[in-house]
Amino acid sequence: MGIGFVGQVTRAITVDEASQVGQVRREAQVLAQLADFAELDAGRVTLAAVEIATNVLRHGRGGRVLLSLVQGRTSKGVEVCGIDRGPGFSLSDCLPDGYSTGGTPGQGLGAIKRQAQVFDVWSDARGAIVLARIYGERTRNEDLGYGALRLPMRQEPVCGDAWFVSRDDGGRTSGVLVDGLGHGLLAAEAADAGIAAAAEGPELAADEVLSRMHARMSPTRGGAAAAFVHEPESGVVRFAGVGNIAAAIHEPGQPSRGLASHPGIVGSQHRRTPSFVVPAAPGALLLMHSDGLQTRWSLSQYEGLVYRHPALVLAVLLRDFDRGRDDTGALAVRLEAQRDQYH
């Protein structure tokens, strides 16, 4: 039985004063309910969220906390990501209980790690990012190696960017990112129509997905879109894109390989777009994003970041390259080997 997941809007909360820690706690509780967590597991989510938000406020000079519902291999989970503006820290110093730079008991990072199946941290001169994913199923391999953002432009109630990802039992992974033209309700309507079409045919080839999306988005204002399929048995990615979706494959020690999109508008000005094939080794990172992020970045600027959890990679890029004047959609997927190699 395969997995398919349509991304919900990322909940982003500014944390610059104490009352906003309470807002983070309440949003985390809502997501735990949506994930159908038992009371004990919901408590783990709340504890991690409060600790992350408190660290952002007390030690990081403020920042924001992102909360998302995520899909695991057999169940849903909750992701909490704190992005601060502080001086950074040494993880080896801060992780053991009892170490503190702010006069507190110094149990925050250790407590977060104990609650989460996924725990990852990035720290540099621009600040620190702490990522935690909590699942109700306490299995080691529950997490799927992907990260995603669906952030509305500030003050907008909806997001005109959207994404979908699926994986079948053999490890074949497909994904779609859509950027509805403009922002607001009409952009969200276009993006949602495209994602609904893609979710109905996860078994299709990348170019076939775009054709189906074009037909469904034709009554809307349309948008940019890109689709990929990773076939682990052949070690290739098949990609098709239309419009301003930036996409590339990143492998450690290798130059990134861009995945080019064709000009046009899905739902309006679109001809059948052939997919093209790119080899991709197991462990490579496929990353695509809308124009809510700047494009002048390189993972080679961040030593070791390409190895980290895809959600952490996106959080670093959001911190450093957020345009701040448009919706932001992004999807990063760690390409797996065939599933039978894991058993």
Q: How many CB atoms lie within 10 A of CB 67?
A: 21
| Residue 327, φ and ψ in degrees, nearest 5 | -60, 155
The better pLDDT of the pair 333, 92 is held by 333
- The whole-angstrom separation of Cα 100 and Cα 94 is 7
CATH number of 146-342: 3.60.40.10
Sign of the Cα pseudo-torsion (153, 156, 161, 164, in order): positive
- The whole-angstrom separation of Cα 148 and Cα 289 is 9
Please tell me the predicted confidence (pLDDT) of residue 126. 93
Half-sphere exposure (CA, 13 Å, Cβ side) for 316? 25
Least confident range of 38-47, 107-116, 174-183: 107-116
Residues facing 119 on adjacent strands: 132
- The whole-angstrom separation of Cα 146 and Cα 79 is 12
Please tell me the predicted confidence (pLDDT) of residue 71. 95
Tens-digit pLDDT profile for residues 64-83? 999 999 999 999 999 999 99
Tokens 């990679």 found at: 313
Q: Exposed, middle or buried by CB within 10 Å (0-12, 13-18, 19+), for 163? A: buried
Residue 341 has pLDDT above 50, yes or no: no
Burial readout 138-157 (b: 16 or more C-beta within 10 A, e: otherwise): eeeebbbbbbbbbbbbeebe
Residues facing 103 on adjacent strands: none
Q: Amino acid identity, residue 32?
A: A
Confidence bin at 271 (pLDDT 50/70/90): confident
Outline which parts of the chain fall under CATH 3.30.565.10. 7-135
Confidence bin at 96 (pLDDT 50/70/90): low
Residue 193 has pLDDT above 50, yes or no: yes
Tens-digit pLDDT profile for residues 6-58? 999 999 999 999 999 999 999 999 999 999 999 999 999 999 999 999 999 99
Residue 98 has pLDDT above 50, yes or no: no
Outline which parts of the chain fall under CATH 3.60.40.10. 146-342
Tens-digit pLDDT profile for residues 228-241? 999 999 999 999 99
Say yes or no: domain 7-135 is CATH 3.30.70.420.
Answer: no
Residue 165 has pLDDT above 60, yes or no: yes
Tokens 């702010």 found at: 102
Tens-digit pLDDT profile for residues 298-323? 999 999 999 999 999 999 999 999 99
- The whole-angstrom separation of Cα 306 and Cα 314 is 11
pTM of the complete model: 0.92
Least confident range of 5-19, 91-105, 282-296, 320-334: 91-105
